[in-house]
Amino acid sequence: MRKKSQRCLGSLISRVYHPRTKPVILKVATAAPVIAAAPPVLEPVVVVPESGNGFGPQPLPSEHLANSERLSRAESALVGHAVKLRADGGERADALLKETQTRLQRHMAQRISDSRLHSHWSLTWFKVNLSRMAALVIAFDHLKRNIQGIPSECLLAPQSRFLAVEGGTAKLEGCYLANDEKDWTRSGKVAREKRNTGARLAELKATPLLRTVSDRSSLFYLPYPSKRSKVPSGELQRGYYSDLRFSAGLSFDRSDADAIRALCASAGAGEVFLWPSSTLAKPGKLKLAG
């Protein structure tokens, strides 16, 4: 159960922190005018009732922030805050929830063409925990002070409010972020036994050399190639891979048994996230790579 929870958790954290705000445009083509779609209707923060689980409507992020006991459990189980945990900012947390719901709906409409997959168990589970995640992003001070009027921009705070991936923090799992000293450029996730953030970043060091077709088609490594790469990036280049600085988003330490118990706790047992039994049964049936 814990391994399944950790894989789901890594995915949840990465999706919420997903910055990719400046996609590289390889070619601008002339196209017919696009008719704007109607604004998506926000879904309420409600857990889909499941037999035996009994989950109902979830508290707003502001309510989670006001719950000192729940906040304390999250602080002891998760790593990633460079400053003291804050319990204020309830209004900003609720605004973040609304914005995240809007972006999720937009993502589903634009990227998931098969509407039958809109009710996929992974998306349902993600929605179930959005309120809790919004509260944690505020508590860890990972959100910009003002998110009004920037509907398509990255909402993450400056890099100074995040822990750098170095030394002891390299053993963490969860979300990691790349910054080029101007803005966040990429997010990633890692959650696997004997494979932490440090190991994952070590694996990626060869990719910026752009030796393979796959490497050269990457909208991340092409703008940030290795200084030793023999493949020119031309106008797409924004810097070098060696100039990027990596930080930890919400993460966890697998060697901390108490933290793992808290993160994997079931409802009513001091849980940090909600883990419906039917959801936990799903990842075990999948062949997950990475």
Whether the pLDDT of residue 4 is over 70: the answer is no
Residue 64 half-sphere exposure toward CB, CA atoms < 13 A: 26
Identify which has the larger pLDDT, 159 or 270. 159
What is the total residue count of the chain? 290
Residues 92-120, mean pLDDT to the nearest whole number = 90
Confidence of residue 194 (pLDDT cuts 50, 70, 90): confident
What local confidence, expressed as pLDDT, does residue 27 receive? 37
Are the C-beta atoms of residues 246 and 178 closer than 8 Å to each other? yes
Would the pTM of this model clear 0.85, i.e. be above it?
no
Q: pLDDT digit string (tens) for 248-266?
A: 999 999 999 999 988 988 7
Cα(129)–Cα(106) distance, integer angstroms: 18
Cα(207)–Cα(221) distance, integer angstroms: 7
What local confidence, expressed as pLDDT, does residue 268 receive? 67
- The fraction of the chain above a pLDDT of 90, given in percent, is 39
Whether the pLDDT of residue 40 is over 50: the answer is no
Residue ranges per domain, the chain? 2-22+56-285
Whether the pLDDT of residue 134 is over 90: the answer is yes
Of residues 2, 9, 1, the one with CA closest to residue 191: 9
How distant, in Å, are the alpha carbons of 66, 145, 149, 179 from that of 138?
A: 12, 10, 18, 20
Whether the pLDDT of residue 78 is over 50: the answer is yes
Report the DSSP beta bridge partners of residue 173: 252
Q: pLDDT digit string (tens) for 216-239?
A: 888 889 999 999 999 888 888 999
Cβ neighbours of residue 233 under 8 Å, at least 6 residues apart?
Answer: 222, 223, 225
Whether the pLDDT of residue 32 is over 50: the answer is no
